[in-house]
């Protein structure tokens, strides 16, 4: 493969904003694969890792470990605690506000890995609803949920994976409450028939009532008003309608989608500012099949790893003539828990479409537990063995990107 040198400086400074799954993976892999040619700095608001896959468990008062981010990233990565409050991609400058005050960091390339948070509730009365998509929201929900008296009504709005996992966890931990799942479509609509039957039975088993086919028109302190005129009693509403990206990218002038995620090409570079890469939930990336990669861990890890490979190749002067290869990611399955005792592993095709195949029962529960714990360990594995993380499609990408920098 022919290559050309894109960097003449001996050292490139890459700033990674956010130490979640995608940012953590990007940082440790880049530090490990760039043979000392890249100085990697990571900025994150707190020194402990937030495992968002378990925030619904935080909301029900369970202990969820919060590993030390510095240790996770290792000594080859510089860690700065704080928020990036302002980003100037053209000048290569970021303003960071942290416990030590406000400072400016320079960079040659920046990787936005800022994840997502609870979307603003798009109906009147949204201020009465709780969320579960970020740590602060989950902690607020935990207090409100714990304060509910026996017999109170709880409504979870949204039948996506987060809604299903949240409603299952809430109902499973407080059988003394009346818990409902309110969805605009069918609660099991995305799944194949076998998995759908299992999800339905699991919801029933926890006493969860599904209110399907109705949109919420407004949220009131003690009820939901639906667009068909019906009312759903709710002393505590949890909105799981969707995720939104933080405002940083939009405020920096980057091209973003309506949810605020950075529009990127297949190689994860911003379409408006190619010096910016976006990974994980922060990026809105075209998949080879023409759709978009969904906000998920399945996307966060490979996108972080792929960004690292692109940047390492660049620093080592090994960028292919045609430019960096696009991320080629095939999905395999989704593992969804319904409370602590039920789960389903829905097998999907490469494009994340559910098939007829599914794993249920104890095997699925164990797989889910392994997933939510293993995702944190994966960053440590990638730090020790920088090329260890692979994904369906990574062999093709490796041939185009990673091979020149391996070894
Ligand atoms: C309850 C729940 C259950 C889920 N279950 C699943 C599941 O089963 N499977 C699945 O695939 N996905 C699941 N998800 C989605 C998954 O958690 C996300 O897709 C994933 O966390 C995205 O990883 P990320 O690294 O892009 O972002 P995040 O994990 O959100 O990390 C982003 C990091 O950036 C930091 N940050 C943000 N702004 C700034 C800033 N300005 N300056 C510095 N740092 C900043 C944040 O504090 C955070 O540490 C679930 C989500 C939730 C909430």
Distance 235 CA to ligand 1 centre (A): 28
pLDDT value for 396? 55
Residues 6+ apart with CB under 8 A from 12: 34, 37, 38, 39, 108, 109, 311, 314, 315
Note whether 110 and 15 are within 8 A (CB): yes
Residue 33 near residue 386 (C-beta atoms within 8 A): yes
- Topology of the domain covering 118-239: FAD/NAD(P)-binding domain (3.50.50)
Q: Is 352 in the pocket of ligand 1 (CB under 6 A)?
A: no
Q: What is the ipTM of this complex?
A: 0.98
Q: Which residues pair with 178 in a beta bridge?
A: 153
- The confidence score (pLDDT) of residue 190 equals 92
Q: How far is residue 116's CA from residue 259's CA, in Å, rounded to a whole number? A: 9
pLDDT confidence of 403, banded at 50, 70, 90? very low
pLDDT at 318: 87
Question: In the chain, what percentage of residues exceed pLDDT 70?
Answer: 94
Atom of ligand 1 nearest to the CA of 166: 1
Q: How are beta strands 243-244 and 117-118 bridged, if at all?
A: antiparallel
Pocket test for ligand 1, best of 29, 47, 53, 284 (most atoms within 8 A of CB): 53
Indicate if ligand 1 lies below 6 Å from the C-beta of 165.
yes
For 321-357, give one letter per residue: b (16+ CB within 10 A) or e: eeebbbbbbbbebbbbbbbbebbbbbbbeeebebeee
pLDDT(1) > 80? no
Residue 14 has a pLDDT of: 98
Sheet containing strand 93-98, edge to edge, reads 83-88, 93-98, 101-106
Does 186 have pLDDT greater than 70? yes
Give yes or no on whether 3-116+245-329+378-405 and 118-239 have one common fold.
Answer: yes
With a 6 A CB cut-off, is 296 part of the ligand 1 pocket?
yes
The token pair that represents 192 in the structure block:
């194949």
Per-residue pLDDT at 322:
85
- If pLDDT is split at 50, 70 and 90, which confidence band does 407 have? very low
The neighbouring-strand residues paired with 105 are 94
pLDDT in tens, 28-73: 999 999 988 999 999 999 999 999 999 999 999 999 999 999 999 9
List CB contacts of 289: < 8 A, sequence separation 6 or more. Answer: 350, 351
Going by alpha carbons, the residue nearest to atom 19 of ligand 1 is 296
Closest-CA residue, ligand 1 atom 15, reads 296
pLDDT at 5: 42
How do residues 254-290 score in pLDDT, each as one tens digit?
999 999 999 999 999 999 999 999 999 999 998 877 7
**Cross-strand partners of 4:** 319
Segment 328-356 mean pLDDT: 93
Q: Is any ligand 1 atom within 6 A of the Cβ of residue 164? A: no
- With a 6 Å cutoff on the Cβ, whether 132 touches ligand 1 is yes
* DSSP assigned state of 292: B
CATH of region 3-116+245-329+378-405: 3.50.50.60
Q: Which 8-state DSSP code applies to residue 401?
A: I
pLDDT digits (tens, 9 = 90+) for 112-164: 999 998 878 999 999 999 999 999 999 999 999 999 999 999 999 999 999 99
Give distance in angstroms: CA of 388 to centre of ligand 1. 22
Read off the DSSP letter of residue 153: E
Q: Residues 125, 223: contact at Cβ < 8 Å?
A: no
The structural domains of the chain, with segments of one domain joined by +, span 3-116+245-329+378-405, 118-239
């Amino acid at each position: 493969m022919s290559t050309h040198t894109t960097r003449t400086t001996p050292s490139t400074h890459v700033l990674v904003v956010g130490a979640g799954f995608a940012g953590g993976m990007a940082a440790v892999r880049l530090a490990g694969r760039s043979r000392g040619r890249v100085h990697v700095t990571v900025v994150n608001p707190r020194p402990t890792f937030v495992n968002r896959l378990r925030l619904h468990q935080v909301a029900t008062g369970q202990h969820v470990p919060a590993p030390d981010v510095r240790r996770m990233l290792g000594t080859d990565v510089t860690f700065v605690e704080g928020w990036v409050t302002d980003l100037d991609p053209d000048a290569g400058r970021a303003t960071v506000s942290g416990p030590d005050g406000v400072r400016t960091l320079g960079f040659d390339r920046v990787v936005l890995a800022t994840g997502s948070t609870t979307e603003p509730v798009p109906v009147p009365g949204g201020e009465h609803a709780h969320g579960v998509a970020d740590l602060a929201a989950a902690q607020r929900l935990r207090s409100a949920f714990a304060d509910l008296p026996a017999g109170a009504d709880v409504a979870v709005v949204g039948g996506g994976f987060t809604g299903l996992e949240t409603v299952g966890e809430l109902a499973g931990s407080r059988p003394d409450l009346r818990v409902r799942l309110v969805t605009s479509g069918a609660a099991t609509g995305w799944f194949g028939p076998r998995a759908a039957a299992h999800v339905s039975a699991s919801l029933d088993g926890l006493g969860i009532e599904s209110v399907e086919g109705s949109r919420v028109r407004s949220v009131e302190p003690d009820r939901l008003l639906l667009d068909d005129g019906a009312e759903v009693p709710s002393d505590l509403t949890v909105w799981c309608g969707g995720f939104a990206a933080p405002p940083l990218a939009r405020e920096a002038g980057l091209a973003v989608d309506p949810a605020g995620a950075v529009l990127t090409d297949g190689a994860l570079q911003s379409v408006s500012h190619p010096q910016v890469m976006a990974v994980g939930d922060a990026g809105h990336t075209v998949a080879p099949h023409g759709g978009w990669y969904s906000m998920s861990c399945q996307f966060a890890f490979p996108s972080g790893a792929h960004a690292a490979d692109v940047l390492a190749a660049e620093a080592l002067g090994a960028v292919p003539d045609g430019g960096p290869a696009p991320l080629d990611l095939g999905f395999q399955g989704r593992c969804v828990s319904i409370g602590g005792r039920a789960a389903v592993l829905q097998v999907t095709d490469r494009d994340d479409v559910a098939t007829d195949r599914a794993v249920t029962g104890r095997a699925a529960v164990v797989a889910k537990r392994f997933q939510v714990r293993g995702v944190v360990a994966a960053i440590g594995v990638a730090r020790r063995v920088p090329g260890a993380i692979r994904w369906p499609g990574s062999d093709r990408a490796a041939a185009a990107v990673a091979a020149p920098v391996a070894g």
